[in-house]
Structure 1
């Protein structure tokens, strides 16, 4: 039996053990207690927690989600300024990619930690790690240092985000969970709005791009008293000592899982751009990745250096068709968001000669509609309950919007692009955050943390993977397209590659307007082909929804074993 305790050590809630969960009790909407057939009272998850403390806790949690969203997208409009200050075009992708790559490399491990240690102190520690990474990014003297900072911030950010989800899984009922999780999507989305805008504003100001990362420090410091003195504590498996809990961590699985993601991102980022696809380094990296994948699967399947309860990947949950397809839906909607947020601003920078700030503003139609429909979906899901409808509708809209973005040219009007953005935003927003509530409703109470971890891997992981794939397409297809289009002008290869980083390239300083027009058309055609990813992911989202069971999720079964 695990207990939720306040700062004064008093018990706020006794979590009901599985043996007592065979009662036919339901909770009232206002949180009052309802008697079951043998007159045993079932307490609301926040029983004994003052409303004002819960309100401040929510503010702190949502700020963490906002900062996570901020750092996910803030690199979208600072890359040109970073390249101008630090150089090294081959490292530029890591400004955007390092953060989500590190996040997904540790997300399963973070999920395990949140299932065995006090969630209050874990979220405080991971927030501190996030702030250290942000400080390193702001002070980075080289692109390598900036990459290290982004990786550290990504590790901390993953813990912050998962901590927010963990708090709401512990302190809310199933009926409340979808709305609170939609609030996470709202905070994350609002941070995503601010990311490109803040990044662009700082890049165009005397403060420089460095304050795009420093800004995290005062925001977290402002909320630190809430984290330290207001957040309630909750530790699962309280009967185990810290040392006993540490022994249950699947360290081998955690290392292999991190290697899988890091190697995959590494090869996609450097393959074709820095390393030739047929080079020994590229082939060796793919071979090591393949061997690591096989080792991870075998280690998890046969409990090597772990056991069924402690293994990192909850393979038994993958027997549920509904849960697997919800993961697919979450992954595809995250892919749509990642690609759109990064490449819409880039499109306007090339075709309209926008500054970083102006290009970020062009993304607002996408973000506003995306956030709005996250909230609509979260609020309506407990009422509609047929969760597959959200994925079917979302997939159809993404396919339509993606197909339209695939037709863009330098002459496509701004109004049309906004319309295409909105279609994609609605399609991605409808299923984006619902997976957390659906997954929690489909598994036994003791498996909810693991199910949320799977959804988190799908969301964060595939956003990172999609950015890596999109970056590889942009760098390789863009280079080939530019090289062929500008062949008669005999530009050196580094000039051609730098043209992909923005208008700071010497190519755009040419006195021949024809050169600039050719380069812009080649890059827009490349971005158009990157948007082709949306058609494929939208189709996967649609098909996944069609294959889901035609059933209603039970969001009221808070005591289901």
Structure 2
């Protein structure tokens, strides 16, 4: 990377003087197409059926990564029944999200240094190993290791897909392909609970919820090896020299700072009290590590401007920072309903894991359809700011409606609320990947992909930890008052679906307990309300500009 991005207050005349016949650089170093640009040819050496086969194969990796995000949502009780160690239950999700979030920026840097094809294939291989470890796990500790491997490699393949799309598509067609990642992501997310629940209720058992990834990977392996274009960002530079340019110290500090912070918010109020020494110590450690990281990155300690792990250049760009915050809010807006909707129906309607997963379909179908629409229209018209405004307002509305849901709310009404929410989230959840690549210089594209991916996973991880805390705190505050003679451990087990406590209660008492549980679920939607409001407000800080060279043909192969 080169020098830091100039401040946005740089006079416009300076930007105008730097324009060439093809493009110019805005005051904050964001690219804008000059008038009269010719359509850009796709930068790839394959076309036709080979190209579409490559796209289908790399998008399939997004599918099984998304599947792995939610596959454990409905099979946790079955896993605990086989492996035991209930106290480690939260690690099934925390290990995965922690591995993904902590390594995003590192993968962005790695893809900017090494051959994208082989780095991507390496991540596929590690992800498959992690899936095999999960499927064969004889204990919870082994399962947690497998989940962490899947999280780390999953982040790498996700950044890899975005990087490969950036390297093999022209700017005008790129939003459509990025929209394709949203389609496969959405399908994988909704099928995760369904696949997990289906396998857990079948004769083959829950372990095939992880083994299925091995089959998908094996089917796509020939395409990865023989058809995937090889894109080397630093052709001719020795591997040893490239390795030296990876900011190892910054990467270690960044991972440690994120890990301690995520553990603090995941454990606070759930494993340990918020005022416990463990949680306070983790927050303090995260703060200290973040300060040290900032010092190391700004003053270039054991690193250089070109090598540092944090894309400090982006902090001078209002647009990139707004995209980061909006993408984090999108992850929050999508994953609260993805986890809470099945939970609601399992408790209130007695749904099995498979049926509860199907309840997500109205939300996911609308979200995926809107993602595809966004990708197509963003390519055609180029304006991006209105999508964030409308999406934020609709997400706010849907979140507010879900906040009002109680034990007696009809199923049709809930479906209607989730349709509004899915419509809103789909308007912007994937858009930032295309927009960020369009507003930065080409040399910053891998870093931009990693930066926006970090926003998405950080938003998901942090908000899900907070939502889980809201839910459990509400339940563990109210239910013990209703059941004063029941041990806290049994109440926790009932909430997590590993106890038959609810079935043993009288009808009246059971209703009161369910009302407390539903209250905890509904209150978690306060996070969606806040996220939607944030995006709507931030959208007014975006530029009213057209991107993607809209005169070019879309989807040329």
What TM-score, normalized by structure 1, do the two folds share? 0.89
Q: Select between 432-441 and 53-62 the one with higher mean Cα deviation.
A: 53-62
Residue equivalent to 1:471: 468
CA deviation after TM superposition for structure 1 residue 25, in Å:
9.1
Q: Does 1:532 align with 2:551?
A: no
Q: 2:316 aligns with which of 314, 319, 335?
A: 319
Q: Does 1:203 align with 2:200?
A: yes
Asked if 1 retains the 8 angstrom alpha-carbon contact of 2:333 and 2:531, the reply is yes
Residue equivalent to 1:255: 252
- In the TM superposition, 1:49-128 aligns within 5 A as 49-128=46-125
Q: 2:388 aligns with which of 387, 391, 415?
A: 391
Residue equivalent to 2:510: 516
CA deviation after TM superposition for structure 1 residue 48, in Å:
3.5
Cα deviation code 1:252-281 (max 9, x no counterpart): 111111112221221222222222222222
- Secondary structure of the residue aligned to 1:234 is coil
Q: Does 1:277 align with 2:274?
A: yes
Q: 1:384 to 1:24 in 2, by over 3 A?
A: closer
- Secondary structure of the residue aligned to 2:246 is coil
Q: Select between 506-515 and 443-452 the one with higher mean Cα deviation.
A: 506-515
Asked if 2 retains the 8 angstrom alpha-carbon contact of 1:441 and 1:557, the reply is no
Q: CA RMSD in A?
A: 2.1
Q: Does 1:343 align with 2:343?
A: no
Residue equivalent to 1:484: 481
Cα deviation code 1:272-320 (max 9, x no counterpart): 2222222222222221111111111111111111111111111111211
CA deviation after TM superposition for structure 1 residue 239, in Å:
2.7
Q: Does 1:302 align with 2:299?
A: yes
Asked if 2 retains the 8 angstrom alpha-carbon contact of 1:89 and 1:501, the reply is no
Q: Does 1:543 align with 2:540?
A: no
CA deviation after TM superposition for structure 1 residue 193, in Å:
2.1
Q: Does 1:495 align with 2:490?
A: yes
CA deviation after TM superposition for structure 1 residue 367, in Å:
0.6
CA deviation after TM superposition for structure 1 residue 417, in Å:
0.6
Unaligned runs of 5+ in 2: 1-18, 25-37, 553-557
Q: Distance in 2 between matches of 1:545 and 1:498?
A: 42
Q: Distance in 1 between matches of 2:459 and 2:159?
A: 16
CA deviation after TM superposition for structure 1 residue 22, in Å:
4.5
CA deviation after TM superposition for structure 1 residue 47, in Å:
4.9
Q: Distance in 1 between matches of 2:299 and 2:87?
A: 40
- In the TM superposition, 1:160-199 aligns within 5 A as 160-199=157-196
Q: Does 1:430 align with 2:424?
A: no
Q: Select between 199-208 and 535-544 the one with higher mean Cα deviation.
A: 199-208
What TM-score, normalized by structure 2, do the two folds share? 0.90
Q: Select between 526-535 and 255-264 the one with higher mean Cα deviation.
A: 255-264
Asked if 2 retains the 8 angstrom alpha-carbon contact of 1:53 and 1:231, the reply is no
CA deviation after TM superposition for structure 1 residue 477, in Å:
2.6
Asked if 1 retains the 8 angstrom alpha-carbon contact of 2:320 and 2:436, the reply is yes
CA deviation after TM superposition for structure 1 residue 143, in Å:
2.0
Asked if 2 retains the 8 angstrom alpha-carbon contact of 1:174 and 1:557, the reply is no
Q: Distance in 1 between matches of 2:222 and 2:110?
A: 23
Asked if 2 retains the 8 angstrom alpha-carbon contact of 1:174 and 1:556, the reply is no
Q: Distance in 1 between matches of 2:245 and 2:293?
A: 17
Q: Does 1:363 align with 2:360?
A: yes
- Secondary structure of the residue aligned to 1:175 is coil
Unaligned runs of 5+ in 1: 1-20, 27-40
CA deviation after TM superposition for structure 1 residue 365, in Å:
0.5
Residue equivalent to 1:4: none
- Secondary structure of the residue aligned to 2:408 is coil
CA deviation after TM superposition for structure 1 residue 50, in Å:
4.2
Q: Distance in 1 between matches of 2:135 and 2:524?
A: 30
Q: Does 1:442 align with 2:439?
A: yes
Q: 2:140 aligns with which of 140, 143, 147?
A: 143
Q: Distance in 2 between matches of 1:24 and 1:501?
A: 58
CA deviation after TM superposition for structure 1 residue 484, in Å:
2.4
CA deviation after TM superposition for structure 1 residue 469, in Å:
1.6
Q: 1:50 to 1:477 in 2, by over 3 A?
A: same
Deviating beyond 4 angstroms after TM superposition, the runs of 4 or more aligned structure 1 residues are none
Q: Does 1:232 align with 2:229?
A: yes
Asked if 2 retains the 8 angstrom alpha-carbon contact of 1:440 and 1:451, the reply is yes
Residue equivalent to 2:130: 133
